Amino acid sequence: MGVSKTFLSILVLYFSLYTITPTSSASVQDQFINCLHKNTHVYFPLENTFFAPAKNVSMYSQVLESTAQNLRYLTKSMPKPGFIFKPVHESHVQASIICSKKLGIHFRIRSGGHDYEGLSYVSEIEKPFVVMDLSKLRQININIKDNSAWVQSGATVGELYYRIAEKSRVHGFPAGLCSSLGVGGHITGGAYGSMMRKYGLGADNVLDAKIVDANGKILDRKAMGEDTFWAIRGGAGGSFGVILAWKIKLVPVPKTVTVFTVTKTLEQDVGNKILSKWQVVADKLVNELFIRVIFNVAANNGSKTVTTSYNSVFLGNKRALMQVMKKSFPELGLTAKDCLEMSWLESIVYISGFSSRTPTTVLLQGKSPFPKNNFKAKSDFVKKPIPELGLKGMFKKLLKEDMPMMIWNPYGGMMAKIPESQIPFPHRKGVIFKIQYVTNWPESDRRTSRHINWIRDLYSYMTPYVSSNPRQAYVNYRDLDLGKNKINASVKQAQSWGASYFKDNFNRLVKVKSKVDPENFFRHEQSIPTLSVRR
Ligand SMILES: Cc1cc2nc3c(=O)[nH]c(=O)nc-3n(C[C@H](O)[C@H](O)[C@H](O)COP(=O)(O)OP(=O)(O)OC[C@H]3O[C@@H](n4cnc5c(N)ncnc54)[C@H](O)[C@@H]3O)c2cc1C
Ligand SMILES: *[C@@H]1O[C@H](CO)[C@@H](O)[C@H](O)[C@H]1NC(C)=O
Ligand SMILES: *[C@@H]1O[C@H](CO)[C@@H](O)[C@H](O)[C@H]1NC(C)=O
Ligand SMILES: *[C@@H]1O[C@H](CO)[C@@H](O)[C@H](O)[C@H]1NC(C)=O
C-alpha cells in the first residue's frame, strides 16, 4: 500500500529498536499529521491529540496506561505503539483510516481499554503499530420522549447510565456491570449486565449505529446495510470498522430496585446444598431477578476457604423480592435485613463493587473500584448442573491459587427467548449459566507462567462439566489460548476460536467481513478473517 519499501524499513527499524531517533520518528508522524490535515477540515490541537515517546515520554506513558486494564500488557517487554492519536472530531477518525492505509501503518482502536488480552493497545503480531484512542469522542444525547439515546464510543457505560438517570428515574439500559467499560468495544462484543434476564444484552438493544468503514466513509444503519449492522452487534471490535456511536433503546426500570449480597464459606454450605440449588433455579427465577455467584479464596482461622457470594439486583421492592426468594430459593436464607432498596442508578454503583454510599457521581470518573493487576481470564457455558463431585475438585483447585476468582452468571429469561442467529452472540437457550475464571496477581509478582498454568489447568479440569462441540466462550472475555491469527489468517485457522465465540454465526461473520473489508485492513490477533485468504 502506497508507501515506499525504504520508508517502511526505516519505520520498522525505528520501532524495533525502540530507541528514539528523532529524525525518522518525526518523519512517520509528520507524514501522518500532514496527511490528516489534508483529509479533514476540522482543526486538532497537536499537544492534546498526539502522544509520542519522542515528544514527551512521561505524557505518552500516562496516556497509554490511562485506560489500559491489564497490567500484564504494559510490561517493558510488551510492544508499544509508535504514537497515540486521540481524534476530537469524527472526521479525524475518517482521516486516520485514509492516512494509515496510505502510509501502511497498522493501528489499533481503543474505546475503554478493557480488552482482556490488551488488543486495543498492544499488537504482538505486527510491528510497528499505533493506537487510535476514542476517549475524546464521548458525547451522550438522551431522548426520553422516544426512549432512545445516541452515545459515542469513548463514553463509559457508567457515564451513560448516569446521563440516562439524570433525565429519568424510570429509564435504564441493560449493559455491563463495571462502570468504566467503554461503550465502543463493550457493546460490539455483546454487553451483559444485571438486567440481561429481563431485556437481553446491550447489543440486543441497539437501534442504529455510525461507523467508519475501511474506506474512511461514515455509514449509518441504512447505509451499511443489515448484514453489517448484524455483524457489529456482537461480532466484536476491530474487524468491520470503527464504531463512532450507537443509538440505543432505553428500557423501563422501576423507581425502586433491591440489592443484596449474601456470602457463605465452604463450611457454611455443607454438601454444597445452596450452590446446587442455585444451579437448578438461577435461570428459572422471575426475569426481574438476577443472582450471580462470586467465588473468592479467603483466610479462615489460619487456613483458607472458598467464599461464595450471592450478589443480586432485583427490579422491584424488598417485599416482592422476599416473596420470590421464599418460594424459589429459600435455601439461601435471605432476610429483609440483607436487602437494600435504592434507585436503579445506585444499584449500578453497588453492583460495580463500590462501597455502599459512594455517591453516584463516581460513575462519571471512569474509575474501577478495584486496583489494576495482572490478570488472565477464561470463560465457559454450563448447560447442566455441575454435580457435587465436580464442585469438590473445583474448590480444591481454587484453594491452590493466590488470588483466584470465579463468577457464575445466570442466563434464562429473555436470553433464552432470543434466537441464536438474531445477532452474532449465540449463547442463548439451554445455557443455565456462564462461568468466568480469573486469576489476578500484583505487578511485583513475576511468576506469570505459574498463574497462567494454574488457570489452564482449572479450565482443563472443568471440561466434562461445560459445553462442548464447540466449547463455547464469550468474545468480550477475549482469550488468546483459544487461538491466535497470523497476519492474514485463513478462515480455517480461525475456525476453532470462531466457533467457540460465535457458533454457526462465525460463517456469516466471515461473509460480511469479506464483503466490507476484503483487504483485511481491520485486523488483530482474533479479528474475523476474510474468505480471500486460502491456506
Ligand atoms: C473489569 C472488567 C469488567 C468487565 N465487566 C463486564 C460486564 O459486566 N459485562 C460484559 O459484557 N463485559 C464485561 N467486561 C468485558 C468487556 O465487555 C470487554 O473487555 C469489552 O471489549 C471492553 O470494551 P472497551 O471499549 O472498554 O475495550 P477496548 O479494549 O477499548 O476494546 C475492546 C476491543 O474492541 C475494539 N474496539 C474498541 N473500540 C472500538 C470501536 N469504537 N470500534 C471498533 N472496535 C473497537 C478494540 O480494538 C479491542 O479489540 C469487563 C471487562 C473488565 C476488564
Ligand atoms: C511532559 O508531560 C508531563 C505530564 O505527564 C508534564 O508534567 C511535563 O511538563 C511535560 N514535559 C514537557 C517537556 O513538556
Ligand atoms: C475458628 O476456630 C475456633 C477454634 O477452633 C472456632 O471456635 C471458631 O468458630 C472458628 N471460626 C470460624 C469463623 O470458623
Ligand atoms: C496481507 O494481505 C494484504 C492485502 O491482501 C497484502 O497486501 C499483504 O501483503 C498481506 N500480508 C502478508 C504478510 O501476507
Residue 113 region by backbone torsions, left for phi larger than 0, else alpha for psi between -120 and 50, else beta? left
CA gap 242, 110 in Å, rounded = 10
Strands of the sheet with 129-133, listed across from one edge: 50-51, 84-85, 129-133, 106-110
Q: Is 162 a catalytic residue?
A: no
| Per-residue burial over 337-356, b = 16 or more CB atoms within 10 Å of its CB, e = otherwise | ebbebbbbbbbbbbbbebee
Residue 432 near residue 282, CB atoms below 8 Å: yes
Residue nearest to atom 13 of ligand 2 (CA): 56
**Taking the CA of residue 387 as centre, how many other CA atoms within 13 Å lie in the half-sphere pointing to its CB?**
2
Between strands 242-249 and 148-152, the pairing is antiparallel
Q: Residue length, the chain?
A: 535
3-state secondary structure (DSSP) of residue 294 = strand
Q: Is any atom of ligand 1 closer than 6 Å to the C-beta of 191? A: yes
Domain boundaries, the chain: 5-133, 140-252, 257-341+373-465, 482-535
Report the 10 Å Cβ neighbour count for 12. Answer: 12
Closest by CA position to 413, among listed 99, 201, 115, 113 = 201
Query: What's 443-465 look like in SS3?
Result: CCCCCHHHHHHHHHHHHHHHHHH
Sign of CA dihedral 376, 279, 204, 170: negative
Q: Is any atom of ligand 1 closer than 6 Å to the C-beta of 239? A: no
- Does the reported pTM lie above 0.85? yes
CA 529 to chain centre: 20
Distance (Å) from CA 521 to ligand 4 centroid: 9
* Same CATH fold assignment for domains 140-252 and 257-341+373-465: no
Residue 267 burial (C-beta neighbours within 10 Å; 0-12, 13-18, 19+): exposed
Residue that the C-alpha cell 436464607 belongs to = 333
Provide the residue type at 200 as one letter.
G
CA gap 213, 376 in Å, rounded = 32
* DSSP label of 323: H
Q: Is any atom of ligand 1 closer than 6 Å to the C-beta of 234? A: no
Distance (Å) from CA 94 to ligand 3 centroid: 64
Closest by CA position to 346, among listed 356, 336, 333 = 356
Q: Is any atom of ligand 4 closer than 6 Å to the C-beta of 485? A: no
Q: Give ∠ CA 344-203-468 in degrees, rounded to 5.
A: 110
Residue 529 near residue 491, CB atoms below 8 Å: yes
Closest by CA position to 241, among listed 250, 251, 229, 256 = 229
Please give the number of the atom of ligand 1 that sits closest to the Cα of 232. 43
Q: Which CATH class is domain 140-252?
A: alpha beta
3-state secondary structure (DSSP) of residue 392 = helix
Residue nearest to atom 53 of ligand 1 (CA): 114
Between strands 257-265 and 303-314, the pairing is antiparallel
Report the 10 Å Cβ neighbour count for 197. Answer: 26
Distance (Å) from CA 51 to ligand 2 centroid: 11
H or E, element range at 416:
helix 414-417
Residue nearest to atom 44 of ligand 1 (CA): 237
CA 116 to chain centre: 7
Q: Is any atom of ligand 1 closer than 6 Å to the C-beta of 498? A: no
CA 253 to chain centre: 24
**End-to-end CA, the chain:** 22
Residue that the C-alpha cell 518523519 belongs to = 27
- How is 495-531 classified by DSSP, letter by letter? HHHHHHHHTTHHHHHHHHHHHH-TT--S--TTPPPPT
Nearest ligand to the C-alpha atom of residue 267 = 3
CA 99 to chain centre: 28
Q: Does domain 257-341+373-465 have CATH number 3.30.56.10?
A: no
Strands of the sheet with 303-314, listed across from one edge: 340-342, 257-265, 303-314, 289-300, 404-410, 433-441, 374-382
CA distances from 37 to 30, 42, 45 (A): 10, 8, 11
| Residues 5-133, CATH architecture | 2-Layer Sandwich (3.30)
Please give the number of the atom of ligand 2 that sits closest to the Cα of 62. 5
CA distances from 447 to 76, 158, 403, 508 (A): 15, 34, 13, 41
Q: Is any atom of ligand 2 closer than 6 Å to the C-beta of 469? A: no
Closest by CA position to 182, among listed 66, 96, 292 = 66
Q: Is any atom of ligand 2 closer than 6 Å to the C-beta of 56? A: yes
Distance (Å) from CA 36 to ligand 1 centroid: 27
pLDDT of residue 26: 54
Residue 505 near residue 420, CB atoms below 8 Å: yes
Distance (Å) from CA 337 to ligand 3 centroid: 25
CA gap 435, 148 in Å, rounded = 32
Nearest ligand to the C-alpha atom of residue 58 = 2
pLDDT of residue 3: 37
Query: What phi, psi does 174 have (nearest 5°)?
Result: -90, 70
pLDDT digits (tens), the chain, 535 positions: 333 443 444 444 444 444 444 445 558 889 999 999 999 999 999 989 999 999 999 999 999 999 999 999 999 999 999 999 999 999 999 999 999 999 999 999 999 999 999 999 999 989 899 999 999 999 999 999 999 999 999 999 999 999 999 999 999 999 999 999 999 999 999 999 999 999 999 999 999 999 999 999 999 999 999 999 999 999 999 999 999 999 999 999 999 999 999 999 999 999 999 999 999 999 999 999 999 999 999 998 889 999 999 999 999 999 999 999 999 999 999 999 999 999 999 999 999 999 878 999 999 998 888 899 999 999 999 999 999 999 999 999 999 999 999 999 999 999 999 999 999 999 999 999 999 999 999 999 999 999 999 999 999 999 999 999 999 999 999 999 999 988 777 888 899 999 999 999 999 999 999 999 999 999 999 999 998 754 4
Q: Dig out the grid coordinates for 264 from the structure.
A: 457463605
